[in-house]
Structure 1
Amino acid sequence: MLIIQAGFAINDDIQKGIGFMGLFQHRPDVSLFPADPDLPVRVCDYGLMPYPAAMDALQSMVADRTKNRIPDTLMLLEHPPTYTMGLRAKKEHLLVSESELKSRNIEFFHADRGGDITFHGPGQLVGYPVLDLKTGKPNIRRYINRLENVIIQAIAGFGVAAHRNAGFPGVWAGSRKIAAIGIRINADGISSHGFAINVNTDLTFFRHIIPCGLREATVTSLAGITGIPVEMEKVKQSVAAAFLSEFQTR
């Protein structure tokens, strides 16, 4: 049985296991609170969204969360082909010129997040948590670990045994990286940016960069591991359930 809410199908077992209605809100008015105020986090699905528009929405959410106008929120979305460079990125980790990227209709942006260079594109699920972490001093390492927990738990349901790689934020399947993490926590303790999971991603785009600045690292995807395309909606549901489970408490 599928339960339809706000235009999205939600598996009945997930619905019963989490005990809520209205998991997803599609392109919501960010001033609205979820139907169930007892939920620890609101999950919003924005579909395919250009990077600049997503950053505008993210910054607006951060401002609203700072003023307590909205609850903690997880944005889920995909981007058109885009490379972004974090605050610790080196220019030489982009292996092609920006003019060549333009000729291929690939966008390029500098991002105010931690980490190095990465790729975003269709078939990759991006999550931007906007959370109030200012209770006490935000523990950045612990927060990253919790995001890793979410990803590991979420993709386990697809038969993928993933793990951390000590000293390198993100999630790995064997020797290959399947998910990247790059975050920002502002002076008010509000998080932004987040994680990216390769689901059905075209991995050839990673040939033009040194992903996350790791020269020896290779990347993989859920589809690459399972050998078949993976339904993105099911991944969204799994990530949302894992996120709500992990962040029920702070």
Structure 2
Amino acid sequence: MRIIDCGLMEYHQSLALQERLVAAIGAGNEEETLLLLQHPPVYTIGRGGNPANILDPAVRVERVNRGGDVTWHGPGQVVGYPLVNLGRRGRDLHRWLRFLEEVLVHTLTAFGIKGHRCPGSTGVWTAQGKIAFIGVGVRRWVTMHGFSLNVLPDLAVFSRINPCGISGCPVTSMAMEGQSPLSEQQVVLQLKNDFVHLLNRWLPLP
């Protein structure tokens, strides 16, 4: 598993990189890869997302080939795009989603934050609201897209949408959960460790 810190990257640039790597991984020409990065401010919506969940008509939204509804990416948020060959790891998309949630719960725990799953809503929550978002795509059983974790973003951006299609969805961050000041690089390092540690436990290679 290769991990690449991409820093700040435009959304379409990251999508092109994912598409290139997914094709190469599927062909056996590249190893599985986790991209960790931040985006300039951007709203995206999944292929089945409902435009009615965009509450502000001035919001420009990118429609993309992932599951899930509308969300936001931007400063203060850590984004992860794991490009993993599920064809060699059990071909179980449901388990893949639960694995991503588990990674995020472990990372939050390392910073003293109690995260949990919410039945019927993919992602991770705390008692204060949704703190991590997940939307994935799969091409020939190679995953793309992934997760975002609110570290210290301006949460007002979520008031312009129904996050993940949930009306009135409360949204929180690690900073709001009492973890301030907080280094995004510390969070990235912890995410790396938790992802690698849990991957072969949850989705072992044959």
When structure 1 is superposed on structure 2, of 167-176 and 225-234 the one drifting more is 225-234
Question: 1:229, CA displacement in angstroms?
Answer: 3.1
- 1:232 equivalent in structure 2: 184
Q: Which has the larger radius of gyration?
A: 1
Unaligned runs of 5+ in 2: none
| CA offset digits 1:196-230 (Å, max 9, x no partner) | 00001111100100000011321000011115131
- 2:71 equivalent in structure 1: 118
- 2:56 equivalent in structure 1: 96
**Counterpart Cα distance in 2 of 1:150 and 1:137:** 18
- Relative to 1, partners in 2 of residues 1:227 and 1:158: Cα closer, same or farther, differing over 3 Å? closer
1:223 aligns with 2:160: no
| CA offset digits 1:162-191 (Å, max 9, x no partner) | 0000111000011400000000112x2100
Contact residue 132 and residue 191 of structure 1 kept, 8 A: yes
Contact residue 113 and residue 177 of structure 2 kept, 8 A: yes
| CA offset digits 1:114-166 (Å, max 9, x no partner) | 00000000110000000000137621111100000000001111110100001
For 1:220, the aligned partner's letter is T
Unaligned runs of 5+ in 1: 1-40, 102-106
- Relative to 1, partners in 2 of residues 1:227 and 1:146: Cα closer, same or farther, differing over 3 Å? closer
- 1:82 equivalent in structure 2: 42
**Counterpart Cα distance in 1 of 2:178 and 2:28:** 42
- 1:247 equivalent in structure 2: 199
**Counterpart Cα distance in 1 of 2:89 and 2:149:** 29
1:199 aligns with 2:159: no
Using structure 2 for the length normalisation, give the TM-score: 0.94
**Counterpart Cα distance in 2 of 1:195 and 1:167:** 17
Question: Which of 93, 114, 120 is the aligned partner of 1:161?
Answer: 114
- Residues matched between the structures, number: 202
Q: Which runs of 4+ in 1 moved over 6 A?
A: none
Contact residue 130 and residue 170 of structure 2 kept, 8 A: yes
Question: 1:246, CA displacement in angstroms?
Answer: 0.9
For 2:192, the aligned partner's letter is A
Contact residue 85 and residue 116 of structure 1 kept, 8 A: yes
Greater relative contact order: 1 or 2 (C-alpha under 8 angstroms, separation 6 or more)?
2
Using structure 1 for the length normalisation, give the TM-score: 0.78
- 2:62 equivalent in structure 1: 109
| CA offset digits 1:29-53 (Å, max 9, x no partner) | xxxxxxxxxxxx2111100111011
Contact residue 200 and residue 229 of structure 1 kept, 8 A: no
For 1:75, the aligned partner's letter is L
**Counterpart Cα distance in 2 of 1:82 and 1:160:** 27
**Counterpart Cα distance in 1 of 2:25 and 2:193:** 22
- 1:60 equivalent in structure 2: 20
What SS does the corresponding residue of 1:118 show, helix, strand or coil?
Answer: strand
